């Protein structure tokens, strides 16, 4: 069976705080929120690949890996502003990555293939 990730969502405890963190710290752009009258869900603009979303809900904790062009540059920008799960390193399987946590403990990996 072939699969392709189309949508990934992390559960968060406070939607407003999470949106602020993802937009101010990581530079993500909110594409939309739902429902209109009292949003508890937001998804972010995606250039390619899966849509990434957050939802205010109980039961937090997940890991997501995002492919980036230059993990070294992003690491330098973020490392003093975030909780670090794994510092920047080269993996045994040919990637360079680091992993941080958002305010709700969701783990976010940023990875690129080593040339």
Q: Per-residue pLDDT tens for 2-46?
A: 657 778 889 999 999 999 999 999 999 999 999 989 999 999 998
Tell me the CATH number for domain 7-113: 3.10.180.10
Confidence class for position 60, pLDDT limits 50, 70, 90: low
- Angle, alpha carbons 31-4-65 (nearest 5°): 65
Instruction: Say whether pLDDT at 109 is over 70.
Output: yes
**Strand, helix or coil for residue 113:** strand
Q: What is the pLDDT of residue 103?
A: 93
Distance (Å) of CA 88 to CA 2, 96, 98, 103: 31, 7, 4, 20
pLDDT at 84: 96
**pLDDT exceeds 70 at position 107:** yes
In the chain, what is the straight-line distance between the N-terminal and C-terminal CA atoms, in Å?
Answer: 30
Closest CA relative to residue 114, chosen from 98, 87, 94: 94
Percentage above 90 pLDDT, the chain: 60
Q: Quick check: 85 pLDDT over 70?
A: yes
Q: Is the pLDDT of residue 71 over 90?
A: yes
**Per-residue confidence (pLDDT) for residue 47, from 0 to 100:** 81
pLDDT at position 3, please? 59
Q: Structural domain boundaries of the chain?
A: 7-113
């Amino acid at each position: 069976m072939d699969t392709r990730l189309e949508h990934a969502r992390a559960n968060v405890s406070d939607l407003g705080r999470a949106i602020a963190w993802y937009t101010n710290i990581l530079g993500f752009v909110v594409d939309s929120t739902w429902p209109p009258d009292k949003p508890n869900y937001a998804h972010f603009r995606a250039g390619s690949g899966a849509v990434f979303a957050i939802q205010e809900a109980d039961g937090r904790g997940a890991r997501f890996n995002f492919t980036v062009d230059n993990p070294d540059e992003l690491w330098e920008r973020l490392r003093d502003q975030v909780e670090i799960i794994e510092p920047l390193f080269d993996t045994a399987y040919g990637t360079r990555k680091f992993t941080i946590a958002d305010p709700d403990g969701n783990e976010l990996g940023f990875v690129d293939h080593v040339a």
